[in-house]
Each structure stands twice: as C-alpha cells, then as structure tokens.
Structure 1
C-alpha cells in the first residue's frame, strides 16, 4: 500500500477488514469489527484512516446524507440505499459510469461519478407491512 504515508498496521487491518465484507459499514460499525482484532484502536483512528483510504482511491466513501458508508471495492459501481435504515448494497447490474464530453462538463474538472438507486430494503419493507 502506497498512499504517501508511512505504513501502518492499523490502516492495513482496517482495509483488510473492510475488503472482507460484502456490506457497506459505517465507520462506527467497522470500528466495532476492527476493535475485536486490535482492542486499543480508537474510533478517531478508524475515521482518519477511512478518509485517507477513500481520498487515495483504495476504497469508496458512500455519502448518504447521514453517516457515510464505506466500500472495500474501489471500482466504480452502482449502489442501492434504503431510505428507512440507510443500509447500502451493491446493485448487481451492468450499469456503467456514463461518459461526458468536455462541453457537457461545462468547465468542471470531473473527478468521478456515482450511481445510486434508493428504495426500501426487504427488512424495512417487512416491518412496514
């Protein structure tokens, strides 16, 4: 891992733990998992390292308007988010990132694109009915 910072056992463990998940945890949820393997790690350390990993393209940060969620798969791909509980899942689809021309970008320096669907997850749907 080369991200312009010195190597860190904590960062490597956070990344390893995140890449081993298929869900998209919040920093708090990931902290609880990492703490089982590294009891002395602080929540602040997890937050800082997740931001650093996301800023350097090793993971995706999914901004939900509430607590951000993180994805160990850094390749661009669509997500679906529950409007009730905030759970985020990958969309199993061949939806790709759209391309735009320089003219369409209207002078913006485009850094990326995210495609997000939203609805009510099966668990929340069962609780409604």
Structure 2
C-alpha cells in the first residue's frame, strides 16, 4: 500500500483518538488542517487500510461503520444509550476469544467479531445524577 500525505494524516488522527470515529467524524476533524481532503478520499483510504490490516473496521448491522486505529486484540462495548463504542480489556475475554478461534474452521468460518453491549461510564454517571 502506497503511503500518501492524506493516508498518513487519516491514520495519525485515527490512532490519536479512542472514540472509534465514523468516516464522517474523521473527515470533519481532518478538514481543519487539510481543507482540500474529500469525504470520498477518507472513505476510500479507510477501506484500503482496513483491508490491509492497518486499522479495524467495526461493523454492526444497521449501524454506521466505525474505525479503530488499535489493531491489537481487544474487545468493544457499544453503549445502548448513546451509541458510543468503548474498549474492553479482559483476560477472561481473551480466553473466550481463543476458544472461539479454535472452533472457526469446524464452523466453516474464518473470523469473528465479539461486541458487547451495555451502558458506558458517561451514561451511567448521568443516570446516577438524574436519579
């Protein structure tokens, strides 16, 4: 994959945040310093970097794709209140992941995505304050 100034800027911005932004959110942030960048360029580069394994694409049926600059093995929780996606670190989940990975060939699968759902810290705080 060829490196370009635009691709490098997209990757740098994505790796600088932990919010798992959408392409539109990345585009808005990039336009501050690169007003000439197009939304199509952002989408195209995100897809290419995802296919090359440089970033992770987080897809859930019916939801807008989000992207993660952290390609290490970790898991995500989607807040059912605000829709935010947050990282979950857990040794227990890594064990579960290893068990699932062993089963994939038997199931005729080559990959999996484990996404948890719940209430993020911000929404929990807000609920506690309003109650």
What TM-score comes out, normalization by structure 1 length? 0.82
The structural deviation recorded for 1:109 is: 5.1
In 2 relative to 1, CA 84–52 (structure 1 residues): closer, same or farther, beyond 3 Å?
Answer: same
The verdict on how the C-alpha distance between 1:123 and 1:107 changes in structure 2, with shifts beyond 3 A counting, is closer
3-state SS of the aligned residue for 1:45? helix
Deviation at 1:107, TM superposition (A): 6.0
Query: Structure 2 matches for 1:71-82, cutoff 5 A?
Result: 71-82=68-79
Which string of whole-angstrom CA distances, capped at 9 and with x for unpartnered residues, describes residues 63-112 of structure 1?
A: 1331111110012211111123221010132221224446x6336251x3
Listed as ranges, the gaps of 5+ residues in structure 1 are: none
- Greater fraction of residues in helix: 2
**How do residues 7-22 of structure 1 correspond to structure 2 at under 5 angstroms?**
7-22=3-18
Distance 1:84 1:45 in 2: 31
Partner of 1:121: 120
Q: Please give the residue correspondences for 1:21-60 in structure 2 after superposition, counting only pairs within 5 Å.
A: 21-60=17-56
TM-score (norm 2): 0.81
- Tell me, in whole angstroms, the C-alpha distance in 1 between the residues paired with 2:20 and 2:52: 18
Task: Report the Cα offset of residue 114 of structure 1.
Answer: 2.3
Aligned residues, how many? Answer: 123
Name 2:82's counterpart in structure 1: 85
RMSD: 2.1
String of CA shifts for 1:5-43, please: whole Å, max 9, x gaps.
Answer: x32110111001111112211111111111111111011
Q: Partners of 1:77 and 1:101 in 2: how far apart?
A: 17
